[in-house]
């Protein structure tokens, strides 16, 4: 079976902060350190080819990773509360080490110098168990045998970026604050929609209101269609897990694979229909504005 090549892989968060000026502001807000120039930042986010293999999907890549002042920063955005993030961060970090260093360096008698890792997650989901501003997740929490001083530890700092949380962080990075407001508006706009057509109209209305209020205005103007499509086509990890669970991992893997492949085909068809519908809606809105 061929690998599935998904369009629209990057999250809206990753799209937004792929801009180095915005990333600089976010890094300064999180670290409390001043960055003199965007040229001091070296982005090394894993590409589709570099990310690690994950089931039937082509590759699982990280959202944002970059080097600044001797630190390897890994920033992830999560809309679902995933307590396994320390494990995923470990895999991302290992892949980054492989991509940044040669085999010769790993086997050299000289000590290999590594940038100090920092693992950050920005969470904007609706899980009620996460109603605080921040949480800390540790790799050792996943170990079957608990030890006081595990030989391998990894710490992930999770920031709740929903509206009303982490005000100091939000005020230090206006782009992050506006992103939080955008998510809140779109979530409110689509919560009572019952069809894809209603959802597209609601998303367009929410985007229009954000643009009018100068919330991520330029970004939304430039990426309207892709942002709307992401609401339908973002990676459905829960559906995949459910398929594996229902069929049984060993005996049902192939069946689940086929089931999910069919689901992706249906979503690809839906994408084409929604793209056409969205283009008509935008044209209608532009015509009404004249």
pLDDT of res. 235: 36
pLDDT of res. 33: 92
Question: pLDDT per residue over 53-111, tens digit each?
Answer: 443 333 456 889 999 999 999 999 988 887 889 999 999 999 999 888 887 888 888 88
Question: pLDDT per residue over 156-202, tens digit each?
Answer: 999 999 999 999 999 999 999 999 999 999 989 988 888 878 888 99
Question: pLDDT per residue over 110-137, tens digit each?
Answer: 888 899 999 999 998 888 888 899 999 9
pTM of the model: 0.76
Helix, strand, coil proportions of the chain in percent (round to 5)?
A: 55, 15, 30
């Amino acid at each position: 079976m061929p690998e599935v090549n998904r369009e629209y892989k990057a999250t809206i968060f990753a799209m937004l902060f792929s801009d180095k000026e915005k990333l600089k502001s976010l890094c300064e807000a999180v670290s409390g350190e001043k960055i003199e120039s965007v040229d001091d930042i070296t982005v090394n986010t894993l590409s589709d080819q570099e990310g690690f293999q994950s089931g039937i999907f082509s590759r699982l890549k990280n959202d944002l990773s970059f080097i600044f002042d001797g630190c390897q920063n890994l920033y992830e955005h999560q809309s679902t509360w995933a307590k396994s993030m320390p494990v995923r961060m470990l895999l991302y970090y290992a892949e980054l080490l492989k991509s940044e260093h040669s085999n010769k360096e790993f086997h050299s008698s000289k000590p290999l110098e590594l940038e100090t890792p920092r693992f950050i997650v920005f969470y904007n989901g609706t899980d009620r168990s996460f109603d605080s501003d921040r949480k800390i997740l540790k790799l050792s929490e996943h170990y079957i045998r608990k030890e006081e001083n595990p030989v391998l530890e990894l710490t992930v700092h999770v920031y709740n970026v929903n509206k009303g949380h982490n005000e100091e962080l939000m005020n230090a990075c206006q782009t992050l604050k506006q992103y939080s407001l955008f998510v809140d508006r779109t979530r409110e706009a689509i919560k009572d929609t019952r069809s894809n057509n209603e959802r597209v109209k609601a998303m367009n209305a929410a985007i229009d209101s954000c643009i009018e209020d100068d919330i991520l205005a330029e970004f939304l103007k430039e990426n309207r269609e892709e942002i709307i499509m992401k609401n339908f086509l973002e990676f459905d990890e829960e559906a995949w897990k459910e398929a594996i669970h229902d069929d049984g991992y060993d005996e049902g893997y192939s069946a689940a694979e086929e089931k999910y492949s069919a689901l992706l085909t249906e979503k690809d068809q839906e994408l084409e229909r929604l793209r056409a519908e969205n283009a008509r809606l935008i044209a209608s809105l532009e015509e009404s504005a004249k």
